[in-house]
Amino acid sequence: MAVYAQKSSIQDVAVSIKGLSFKYFGSDSYALHNINMEIKKGEFIGIVGPAGAGKTTLCYAITGLIPNDILGDFEGSVTINGFDTLSHPVYELSKNYGFVFDNPEYQFSQATVEEEVAVGLENRGVDPDLMPEIIRSSLKKVKLEGTEKRSPFELSGGQQQRLAIASMLALKPSILILDEPTSYLDPQGKEEVYSTLKELNEEGMTIILVDQEVELMAPMVSKIAIMYKGSIVDYGTPAQVFSNIKSTIELGLRIPQATELVVKLGKNAENGNIPLDVDGAVKFVDSYIKRGGN
């Protein structure tokens, strides 16, 4: 698979990864191998790959947890908003990003929704007089107004994950990193989370999303990175990446159902012209029929 290179000015780059390799302490094999990746400010990046591909490890490297808190052999460099993770502590790096885990309940520790959003503000030393408006604004962004006095554990799965996102938004990060945030959600919850992420990205936030929901991801993200055995084996727009349909399937990855039409009709995608969603599939089938099945 081809990896599509990017060139940007330093001011435009949110995350820069060069020659990154990492081996966990005590392990004989590398979890990450020679990762090179550049993410521009305002991009929405999807990361997919089979279990054990290194997706979560890559997130830890971007946040600075690797190499600061998680021990191992670290090679290469990672910068986030220009801050080198080797020379800056996590507490300083974390001012640039919000990190949302797969199970939101792991992050909850407070009795009410508003207290959950407030705890991060308190840790940052935010003026208490400013907190009510920040909390209100953060909950409004994820459409959780009116839940302030409820327990986080009374919310639905989708609401809980949006609360986890709101807790990060209150800290005003420029980058939001999410590690399989829809793993425990039903279809409605997944739609809610993706709708929230789309709106945040449209407002200018850089989003890095690890997930397996290619149906939702493909028509929404700027670029997709495919990881396999610790390496990025493809990186480009969804159309570019999923044009390599057979190679993607051989890696054991799902492709959007709309894209499967190309496979089932026995057609090869040309110039990245493949359907990624329902609208694209309708147009593809219509064109296919008009061509007499050619």
CATH number at residue 237: 3.40.50.300
Per the domain annotation, does 275 fall within a domain?
yes
Q: Are residues 101 and 230 in the same domain?
A: yes
Q: Which residues lie below 8 Å from residue 106, measured CB to CB, with a gap of 6+? A: none
Q: Are residues 293 and 240 in the same domain?
A: no
Please state the φ and ψ torsions of residue 99, each to the nearest 5 degrees. -120, 120
Q: Are residues 128 and 199 in the same domain?
A: yes
Query: ∠ at Cα 47 (196, 188), nearest 5°?
Result: 35
The number of folded domains in the chain is 2
Per the domain annotation, does 5 fall within a domain?
no
Please, what are the averages of pLDDT over each run of 10 residues along the chain (294 residues)?
51 95 95 97 96 95 96 96 96 94 85 95 94 95 94 94 94 95 89 94 96 91 95 91 77 79 61 68 72 64
Q: Are residues 260 and 200 in the same domain?
A: no
Per the domain annotation, does 93 fall within a domain?
yes
Q: Are residues 24 and 57 in the same domain?
A: yes
Q: Are residues 116 and 44 in the same domain?
A: yes
* 3-class DSSP assignment, residue 201: helix
Q: Which of 208, 229, 247 is the last residue of a domain?
A: 247
Q: Are residues 64 and 181 in the same domain?
A: yes
Q: Are residues 230 and 85 in the same domain?
A: yes
Q: Are residues 66 and 89 in the same domain?
A: yes
Q: Are residues 214 and 120 in the same domain?
A: yes
Q: Is 53 exposed, middle or buried (0-12, 13-18, 19+ CB in 10 A)?
A: buried
Rounded Cα distance, 20 and 8, in Å:
19
Q: Are residues 121 and 240 in the same domain?
A: yes
Instruction: Name the residue range of residue 150's domain.
Output: 10-247
Per the domain annotation, does 4 fall within a domain?
no
Q: Which of 247, 267, 285 is the last residue of a domain?
A: 247
Q: Are residues 207 and 277 in the same domain?
A: no
Per the domain annotation, does 39 fall within a domain?
yes
How many other C-beta atoms are found inside a 10 Å radius of the C-beta of residue 79?
20
